[in-house]
Amino acid sequence: MATTGRPRDVRLDAAILDATRELLARDGYAGLTMDAVAERAGIGKAAIYRRHGTKQEMVFAAAIHEPELPGRPDTGSLVGDLTALVQEIVDHLTSPAASAAVLGLLADVAPDSALAVRFRERFVSRELADIESVLDRAVTRGELPPPPARPDASTVHALVAGPVFALLYLQRTPPNGLAERLAPVVATALTATRSPGG
């Protein structure tokens, strides 16, 4: 009879991410090491590497979001769905851990093509799938045209994530009300792609 491996211990998952967040807040991204996370979590480094292939992946999972994203609820409108999506991105990027990690993460990932591919496969692909569900619902409601005229998820990802990053990290805009300001602008840009009378 075939046997499966031991079930993954979610308590260890949480311990690793909690330790990473605590150390990011204390030591910053540059000062964070796998050894320190292992010590703080009370586990061996091997347990970390079974879950996260690199320091950068571990930090992203702890500071921004884990690889799996929960299903996105239907708010009933494209503007509502985009507002919820943008608010989630704002929340992710304004946590103490994210504030300590984001710029260092980008500096590490951007020049490393292999690491960038891993990030796209592990994290960005989930974000794109999340946006696909928002766009598909908008098509069903008649707010957007069906493919191929429908905006693609990659473009919408850039339209929501890019401005949030610029507003928070470059312009130092307070996060309150950001989603309500940005989402209608993005929705207007997307619905402008509809054909006349469509």
Residue 81's pLDDT is 97
Residue 196's pLDDT is 46
Residue 161's pLDDT is 94
What is the three-state SS of the chain?
CCCCCCCCCHHHHHHHHHHHHHHHHHHCCCCCCHHHHHHHHCCCHHHHHCCCCCHHHHHHHHHCCCCCCCCCCCCCCHHHHHHHHHHHHHHHHCCHHHHHHHHHHHHHHCCCHHHHHHHHHHHHHHHHHHHHHHHHHHHHHCCCCCCCCCCCHHHHHHHHHHHHHHHHHHCCCCCCCHHHHHHHHHHHHHHCCCCCCC
Q: Is there a contact between 82 and 187 (Cβ–Cβ < 8 Å)? A: yes
Residue 137's pLDDT is 96
Nearest to 138, CA basis, from 187, 93, 175 = 187
Nearest to 186, CA basis, from 72, 82, 76, 88 = 82
Residue 33's pLDDT is 93
Cα dist. 69→72, 113, 130, 192 in Å?
8, 24, 8, 29
Residue 5's pLDDT is 43
Which is it for the CA torsion 101, 107, 110, 113, positive or negative?
Answer: negative
- Residue spans of the chain under pLDDT 50: 1-6, 195-198
Token match 């946590």: residue?
A: 95
Nearest to 151, CA basis, from 114, 99, 124, 187 = 187
Residue 72's pLDDT is 81
Residue 193's pLDDT is 55
